[in-house]
Homo-oligomer: A and B are copies of this chain.
Amino acid sequence: MSDDSIKTKDKIAPLPTIRRIPSYLRLLYEYRKEGREWISATDIAERLSLKPIQVRKDMAFTGITGKPKKGFVVSDLIDSIRGFLGWDMMSDTVIVGSGALGSALIGYSGFSEHGLNIIGAFDNDEAKIGSLIHGHKVYDLKDIASVIKDNDVTIGIITVPAQAAQSVADKLVEAGIKGIWNFSPVKLRVPECVIVEKEDLSSGLAVLSVKLGAHLCTD
């Protein structure tokens, strides 16, 4: 298996497909809100500046087949995508670190649409422990193992500073977490059975910077 794709139950899905799929879902929620029943790959492609063939290929990975000339039933496509991403089942999740980024994430109300049920946050700052951030309790980092085990938490989001990230990851793994969404700049060492997805904002900024530098427009 290459690093650029993921083997699922039925087929190997390329990473760019998986990364594009949430934007389809967002558009589909808009369509549903507007009461529209059908959507075509051409509509989707146009709205998201993609090629229709690309959209059709991506959709096929989710296991759905469109109807010629009509496209997809909006609610069926939503179900198909949510099932493919596993977002039809809620994963209990904790956020470790309640600094600026952690607080911003705790306040993100869209997580439930993304299959995440936020159980609470953890911090080692006495001033924060016991307080509520956007309605979620901040627990003492010392209690992380018991909270994770008691609530059967499967995903941990790490937003602590670099120097604390590995020790937090070790605690999460020891408590039985299955997946880590890592916002720290550290490359975490975890057992093979634990999935880590690293969110590196500086990657996006690098792409923006290089594009700006390569830019040939003169006006």
A192 at the binding interface (Cβ < 8 Å): yes
CB < 8 Å neighbour of A8 from B204, B208, B214: B214
Please name all residues of chain B whose beta carbon is closer than 8 Å to the beta carbon of A212 when the two chains form the complex: 86, 91, 154-155, 178-179, 195
Please name all residues of chain B whose beta carbon is closer than 8 Å to the beta carbon of A185 when the two chains form the complex: 23, 26
Copies of this protein chain in the complex: 2
Q: Are B211 and A6 in contact (CB under 8 A)?
A: yes
Pick from A96-104, A118-126, A138-146 the stretch touching chain B: A96-104
Interface residues of A in 109-130 (CB under 8 A from B): 110, 114-116
Do A84 and B187 form a contact, CB below 8 Å, given A103-B100, A107-B100, A200-B23?
no
Pick from A12-20, A35-43, A67-75, A164-172 the stretch touching chain B: A12-20
Query: Nearest 5 CB-CB pairs, A to B?
Result: A193-B217, A22-B202, A197-B208, A100-B104, A19-B203
Interface of A with B (CB < 8 Å)? Answer: 6-9, 13, 15, 18-23, 26, 47-49, 84-87, 91, 100-101, 103-104, 107-108, 110, 114-116, 134, 154-155, 178-179, 181, 185, 187, 192-193, 195, 197-215, 217, 219
